[in-house]
Amino acid sequence: MRSTITIPAAKTDLPEARPARPAIRIRELRKTFGELVAIDGVSVEIAHGEFFMIVGPSGCGKTTLLRILAGLESISSGSIEIATPSSQRPVNSMIFQGDSIFPWMTVWNNAAYGLKMRRAPAALIKDVVGHYLARTGLTRFADYYPHQLSGGMRQRVSIARAFANDPEILLMDEPFSALDAQNKLLLQEELLRIWEEHKKTVVFITHSVDEAVFLGDRIMVMTAQPGKVKTFVQVPLGRPRELMQLQKAPEYGDLISRIWSSLREEVQRARRQEEEMTS
């Protein structure tokens, strides 16, 4: 059985057994900060198990959109419905941009945080955390503190923490933007491998077109502020994916140039807005 949570209104009584119901349904979402319109009329449906990418210029409200989905930000108007598991599982877990693992906890305790917060049985925590630390190559570092790890390893802990929490949807806010190119590639591939296990719904924000095409099933391109949907791009590439193989495929290059040409106008518009503001 599935129920629905609507933000901000209370539970809505939708009839059961609607198989095609999306994991996330956003309708005419609007978010303002005072005078500033951050998100203006975004509507989208994200299917169960979809790896959904959002790209857009800086300041287009993509992080705000993710924070709204994460329940860290309210909405001004419109609605969001998220299909929620009837069990004890959480609705979403977020992988934050930059360092977000607790410096005062060991790798193990960081990865176990979500499960501990919802009082999962110790045996389950041991199994699940052990599994995801192994999947992220951190088993040997379980007792380490974050300051003893590299940036790439810290972000792996963050990934393990989110997956171990076993949420309905995973929210990722440019998780690899602070990493160097090689580490970024490694972590993208690792992320795909771990994701392939259960194919959870993912909403992933990035400013990198390459990353969007490499990881995503579908890409939403956003306009410069105020953030609207510019276009949706389906990624017709099979899985499992490997970057070396992809780069040889002609449709890969086509996709990238298509998305980039659509995005370029917005990046330029964002820059003009910035210049006007500073002058």
Residues within the interface to other proteins (CB under 8 A): 70-72, 90, 92-94, 96, 98-100, 102-105, 113-114, 117-118, 145-147, 161, 165
Nearby residues of 261 by Cβ (< 8 Å), 6 or more positions away:
none
Please give the structure tokens belonging to residue 122: 């110790």
Cβ nearer to other proteins, comparing 157 with 224: 157
- For 169, phi then psi, to 5°, come to -125, 145
Cβ nearer to other proteins, comparing 145 with 260: 145
Distance (Å, whole) CA 115 – CA 117: 5
CB of 259 to other proteins, least distance (A): 29
Cβ nearer to other proteins, comparing 52 with 96: 96
CB of 61 to other proteins, least distance (A): 17
| Beta-bridge partners for 33 | 36
Half-sphere exposure (CA, 13 Å, Cβ side) for 109? 9
CB of 77 to other proteins, least distance (A): 23
CB of 8 to other proteins, least distance (A): 15
Q: Report whether 81 contacts 92 (CB < 8 A).
A: no
CB of 235 to other proteins, least distance (A): 27
Please give the structure tokens belonging to residue 24: 């996330």
Cβ nearer to other proteins, comparing 103 with 137: 103
Distance (Å, whole) CA 8 – CA 83: 14
CB of 195 to other proteins, least distance (A): 19
Distance (Å, whole) CA 5 – CA 21: 13
Helix residue spans in 28-104 (DSSP H): 62-69
Residue 81's nearest CA partner among 37, 34, 18, 38 is: 18
Length of the chain: 279
CB of 257 to other proteins, least distance (A): 35
Cβ nearer to other proteins, comparing 41 with 71: 71
Distance (Å, whole) CA 156 – CA 133: 9
Q: Report whether 187 contacts 218 (CB < 8 A).
A: no
Cβ nearer to other proteins, comparing 23 with 171: 171
Cβ nearer to other proteins, comparing 98 with 253: 98
Distance (Å, whole) CA 87 – CA 253: 43
